[in-house]
Amino acid sequence: MGEEMSSKPYIREISKTNWFYGQPRYMRYMAREVTCIFIFAYTFLLIWALRALANGPEAYQAFLAALNSPLGILFNLAVLVGVVYHSISWFSLTPQAMPLQRGEEFVPGNLIIGAHYGGWAVVSLIVLFLGV
């Protein structure tokens, strides 16, 4: 009896579509991956802006008018949440993605993450300073 049980492979049914549901670790992974949809969509908004820019001042004003709408506000708000989540999850992985060694010791992960947050703040402030 015992022999029979141990030789039986341990197989669980795992859903292909909602395997991550209800598991905080997997939910965080999926949230991180889904941010790419926002980045993809937003990049095409930028391309639309470039097209309008190439077509002249009237076309560009029409683009701004189309952007200035409830849908435009909602879209940009959703994208903002998505890209901020992307930044946080991306920077929090940097110690694993590029561990730094100084002598015998590894540079602490929090220091690497902190440096990225610092850089993020500087870049954001420069763009705000030049662009507003």
127 binds other proteins (CB under 8 A): yes
Q: Which of 28, 27, 24 is nearest to 90 (CA)?
A: 28
String of contacts with other proteins for each residue 6-35, x by CB under 8 A = ---------xxx--x---------x--xx-
Q: At residue 114, what is the residue type?
A: G
Which residue in the set 21, 27, 62, 73 belongs to the binding site for other proteins (CB under 8 A)?
Answer: 73
Q: Which of 34, 22, 30, 12 is nearest to 81 (CA)?
A: 34
Residue 2 or 57: the one with the smaller Cβ distance to other proteins is 57
What is the DSSP code (8-state) at residue 18? Answer: S
Taken in order 78, 39, 53, 48, is the CA torsion positive or negative?
negative
Measured between alpha carbons, how far is 74 from 104 in angstroms, rounded to an integer?
A: 50
Find the radius of gyration of the CA atoms of the chain: 23
* Binding window for other proteins (CB under 8 A); candidates: 5-13, 72-80, 103-111: 72-80
Strands 105-106 and 101-102: antiparallel
Is 61 a binder of other proteins (CB under 8 A)? yes
- Work out whether 68 is an interface residue with other proteins (CB under 8 A): yes
Among residues 27, 39, 62, 107, the one that binds other proteins under rule CB under 8 A: 39
Q: Which residues bind other proteins (CB under 8 A)?
A: 15-17, 20, 30, 33-34, 36-37, 39-40, 42-47, 49-51, 53-54, 57, 60-61, 64, 67-69, 72-73, 75-77, 79-80, 83-84, 86-87, 90-91, 97, 116, 119-120, 123-124, 127-128, 130-132
